Structures are given as structure tokens and as C-alpha cells.
Amino acid sequence: MTSVAHATPGAHGGGAHHAPMSFWRKYIFSTDHKIIGIQFLFVSLFFLLVGGFLAMQIRWQLGFPGKPMPGGGILPESMVVNGVILPEYYIQLVTMHGTFMVFFAIMPLLVGVYANFLIPLKIGTHDMAFPRINMASFWLALLAGLIMLAGFFVPDGAPRAGWTMYAPLSARPDLSGVTIGQKLWCISIVALGLSSVMGSVNYITTIINHRAPGMTWFRMPLSVWALFITAILAVLALPVLQGAAIMLLFDQTIGTHFFDPIAGGQALLWQHLFWFFGHPEVYILILPAMGMVSDIIANGSRKPIFGYHSMVFAIVGIAFLGWLVWGHHMFMSGMNPTLGSTFMVSTLLIAVPSAIKVFNWLGTMWRGNLRFHVPMMNAIGFVSMFTIGGLSGIFMAATPVDIPLHDTQFIVAHIHYVLFGGSLFALFAAIPYWYPKMFGRMMDERIGKIHFWLTFITYNFTFFPMHIIGMGGQMRRIYDPTVYDFLKPQQPLNVLISISAFALFASQLLFAFNFLWSLKKGKRAPQNPWDDNGLEWSLPNPAPHGNWEQIPNVYRGPYEFSAPEAGNADFLPQYVKLPTDRDPAPAIAPAAGH
């Protein structure tokens, strides 16, 4: 580090204060933001695998309805008879696939892992503002996941009302056929919401109060900006879902009828509450991905992010508009059609900040000097696939076109282009990118490239044809499309989708192997393997507990790649002091104890 050591009043030294700890304190009941991030990583990758397994069974049934599923024999008769998936199990599969992927895989992978891991490292502080709340947030999330998983092992099995839990189906066991599983869903969601709020309060406070000297708002990397805005969304949105889930639980248990018109309730009330949470949630699932991809594309292009300020305003714009679009999930719900017009306009407008982001990523790559490392390949994959997901959303935003497409496989295609093509590709970029900072080793580059290409190809063969069968009218969540004469001609596409989905799943085993194998056998990481500018690369790999002995000063923005002052190098880290740089004023807020 070339920065002049700068005494920050009240700041602790980093590692010096940390006596050796027992295994339990260090790795299990840890309050270190990095360990908590890694704990989230392992747990949510496990739930990602669970969600994937459920998806494979869904695809078996849709591709080969009525045929015995390989390995289906090990499942109990309440789920599978003679190897054939039962309709009641099928609905459990779609419900739990959505629930696990949204709440226990993508959301914790993006927020739980990377908000925790990156925020203190990227803004230059020792740890989160509230490390114990942070630890509690992880354990609550794990508990919530286990409660959700328990649904498969109780009488009547897991919930059967879709991950959106539309009432009154979800509220009345006599209509859904599920008693315990449905309640477990509500309890788990309340716990998860609490975990998410605790985490978010931490992220917001840490970013506001604990930035290193010189780390002004507009010197923050876009990943930090995105995680900051995401935390604000989460802290406002999750309590709405929790409230709704508690009302639903009361409907199921103590005889209230919030959502059941049989005793004066309103079925649409659930939909309004759910989507008032649900649409900001969609942006919780994509903004951090956009932020991390921005960091990686600037790095891979060796250029500053094109239009940094408009990128920040686009994040804020998406987040703000995200509160005004929930009704676009309800165009067909019986909500007043005039309200539909309003929601259509706000929804179409959200295409504008999304377009700004895509064009700025392109602008960043323009006249760059592109390095195609695995994170960069996946980040480019993200841009190209998110573009399709964003554009396919326009079809459904236009209310008349939504009429034939609503609740068909078209929306399934759309959400997977955003959440797999978007969020997961961003994670396939982020995981190898910050892997050395987590574990001190590199993931294998060659396996990573093979994994990228296999995933990119099989992913498109899996999800693109869903647009077509959705146009053809195949409804969501139907157990057997061949029941309908008008759907029979497109059954070959369902077979193609299923085979591609199996190949896509198999390709992910490469990633799992690479991830686990590299923990012990990966190449030792140099200190700054990607020639990056972020503060985190001023630390050794893996970063020590407490991060810095002395908090670094920040002299410039995060994307000064190929800056003329850098001389021969094509990057200029935020923490490097050039002779012309002046030291920033010391931090006003003292770094918190940890």
C-alpha cells in the first residue's frame, strides 16, 4: 500500500485485536462478515441444488407425462405411484421450486453472501455495524430454510398453492388438501423476513456510517450502490410479506377470514399484499446482480464504467419505480381495468432505466481491451440474457398482449431469463471473481470456461422454447399439457425443453465440482488476481479477520482502469496514493467495535 498511514480517531487496528478463537467461534457462531457471507454461500448453494432437483422432476412430468420417472421408486406412495408423479406431488414441486429458488437460493446468494462479504471490504471497514445481529440473521435464514424443507416430511406434504400462495386456496386446508405444510410456509417466511430485515438494517447502517476516509458516495463501486438500494427495498418490502403471511397463518389456524370471502374477506387482498412485496422483491433479485456485473465488466474491459452517474440513477430509478408496478401481476385478476392502465404505464417506464444499464454496459466494452476471464464471460452472458428477459417483459406489460400470455409458459420463460439468465449468470461471474478473496485460491479457469459454454447453450435450449409453448397457450402449473387438444401439437417442444433442462442440470455439476475441488486444490491466488481497483484487493487472500490493521484512504473512484496517470499499468486502485493526491479528511464516524 502506498497510502500514508492515517490515524483515524477511534478506529481499532484490524487483526491485531483479534485473539485466536476456537473453531466454533471462528467458523460456526462467527460474527465476522466474511465468514457469515461464506456460511450463506454454502447454505444457499445447497438450497439451489434442492430447487434444481425439484425442477428436474417438474420437467420429467411435463416432457414425459404419465411415464415412470427414473429413480421415482424411492419416493413414497403419497408422491409417486409406480414411478409416476401424482398431481398433488406435482403442485408441491412447482410451489417449492419457486419458493426455494426465490427465497432460499437467489436472494441469499446475492444479498446474504455478497452484501455481507463485499460491503465492508469494498467501503473499507473492519466489519458490519452490528455483527451480532448479522450472525442472528444467518441462523434465522437457515432455520427458515429448514422449516420450509420440513414441509416435504409432514403429513399431506409441502404446500400446494404455488410460490405466490394465492388465497383462498392457500388459506383453506379443505380446498388445498394441505394442513401442516401450508402453515410451515407462513412460519418460514416470517422467519426469513426477519432475517432479511436484520441483514438489511446492517447493510444500510454500515454503508452510511463506516465508509473509509475518502470513500464518498460517488466513489462507491456500483456493486455497493446496488446492494445499498437493495437493502432499502428489502427493509421496506419484507415486512409487508411477513404481515401478509401472518394474516394467512391466522386464516389457516384461528379462523380469521382475511382472504376468504365466505366470511367477508377479500381474495384480491392477498394478491395486492403479496405483489406489493413481490415486485420490489424482483428487483432485490436483480439489482445486486447488476451491480456486481458492472464491477466485473469494467474490470474485464479495462475501462471505467460508461456513465457511472447514470448507472447509479438507473439503480435508484428502478428501485423507485419498482414500488409502483405491482399491479402488473394482476391485469387479469378482476382488479379495475383502469388501474391496469396505470400499472401498464409505470411498468413500461421501468424499461427505461433497464435500457440505460444495458447500453452503459455496452458503452463500457466499447473500445475496451477485453480480457475474457471466466467472470467476464459470465458477465457478458448476463448482459445478453438479461436483455432477452427485459425485452420479453414488454410483451406482458402491454396489457392487451398480456391477455393471452398471462399465467402461461411465456411468463415462466420471462422469469427464468431474468432470474437464471440474469441473477444466476451474475453469480457464476461473482463466485469465481471473489473466490480468491474468500478462500485464498482460484477456481479452475478451464473448467469454468467449459461450464460457461455448456450452461449458456443448454440454458437457451431450455428456456427459449418456453416462450413459444406459452404463446401456444400452455398454462402454468398444469400437471399434464396433453390433456388439452390445442396443446398436443407442441408436445415435442416440451420434450426438447426437458432434455435440455437435464443437460443444464448436469452442467451445473461441473460448477459444483470446480467450487469444491478448488477449495483444497485450486491454484494459490496472487494478491490482486484480476488487476482490480477495489479496496478489498489491498488485503491478502483470504482476507484476515477484522480486515485491515489500518483502514486505507481512498483517493479516487472505483473504475480508473487505463487512466493516463497509471502509467504503464492499465489499472489504478482506489487506495493507491499518487504524488498529486491529497489525503482525505479522517472519517467522522468512528469505526464500530466488532
Partner 1 sequence: MHWWFPTAASTFAGPIDGLFTAILIITGIAFVVVEVGLITFIVRYRARPGRKAFYTHGSTRAEVIWTAIPAVTMVALGLVSNHYWVIIKDRKSVPANAYHVGVHAKQFEWQVTYAGPDGKLGTADDFTVRNQLHIPVDQPIAVELSSEDVVHSFFVPAFRVKQDAVPGMHIVAWFQATKTGEFEIGCAELCGMGHYKMRARVFVHTPAEFNAWMAQQAAGGTE
User: Of residues 120-139, which lie at the interface with partner 1 (CB under 8 A)?
Assistant: none
In the window 453-472, what residues touch partner 1 (CB under 8 A)? 468, 471-472
Pairwise CA distance, residues 417 & 392, whole Å: 9
Among residues 73 and 334, whose Cβ is nearest to partner 1? Answer: 334
Contact, 90 vs 158, CB < 8 A? no
Instruction: Considering the complex, state which of residue 231 and residue 397 has its C-beta at the smaller distance from partner 1.
Output: 397
303: contact with partner 1 by CB under 8 A:
yes
Which CB sits closer to partner 1, 193 or 393? 393
Select from 160-168, 237-245, 517-525, 539-547 the region that touches partner 1 (CB under 8 A).
160-168
Site for partner 1 contains 372 (CB under 8 A): yes
Q: Which of 21, 369, 453, 513 binds partner 1 (CB under 8 A)?
A: 369
φ/ψ bin of 334: left (φ > 0), alpha (ψ from -120 to 50), beta (otherwise): left
**What is the nearest approach in angstroms of partner 1 to the Cβ of residue 345?**
5
Distance CA 573, CA 566 (A): 9
Q: What angle do CA 227, 231, 232 make, to 5 degrees?
A: 120
Which three three-digit cell numbers place residue 307? Answer: 456513465
Distance CA 345, CA 397 (A): 8
Q: Is 442 in the site for partner 1 (CB under 8 A)?
A: no
Q: Does 265 bind partner 1 (CB under 8 A)?
A: yes
33-63 and 116-123 helices, crossing angle to 10°: 140
User: Residues 489-528: x/- map of binding to partner 1 (CB under 8 A)?
Assistant: xx-xx-----------------------------------
The least distance separating partner 1 from the CB of residue 360, rounded to whole angstroms, comes to 7
407 binds partner 1 (CB under 8 A): yes
Closest distance to partner 1 from the beta carbon of 261 (Å): 3
Dihedral sign from CA coordinates of 307, 420, 445, 116: positive
- Contacting partner 1 (CB under 8 A), which of 183, 406, 437, 556? 406
Site for partner 1 contains 216 (CB under 8 A)? no
Any contact of residue 351 with partner 1 (CB under 8 A)? yes
Q: How many CB atoms lie within 10 A of CB 257?
A: 17
DSSP letter string, 98-160 = HHIIIIIIIHIIIIIIIIHHHHHHHHT-SS-SSHHHHHHHHHHHHHHHHHHHHGGGSTT-S--
Cβ at position 90, least distance to partner 1 in Å: 8
Q: Which stretch, 4-12, 247-255, 443-451, 479-487, contacts partner 1 (CB under 8 A)? A: 479-487
> Which residues, including other chains, have CB under 8 Å from residue 183's CB and lie 6 or more apart?
249, 252, 253
CA-based radius of gyration for the chain? 24
Is 173 a binder of partner 1 (CB under 8 A)? Answer: no
Span of 35-43, 279-287, 402-410, 520-528 interacting with partner 1 by CB under 8 A? 402-410
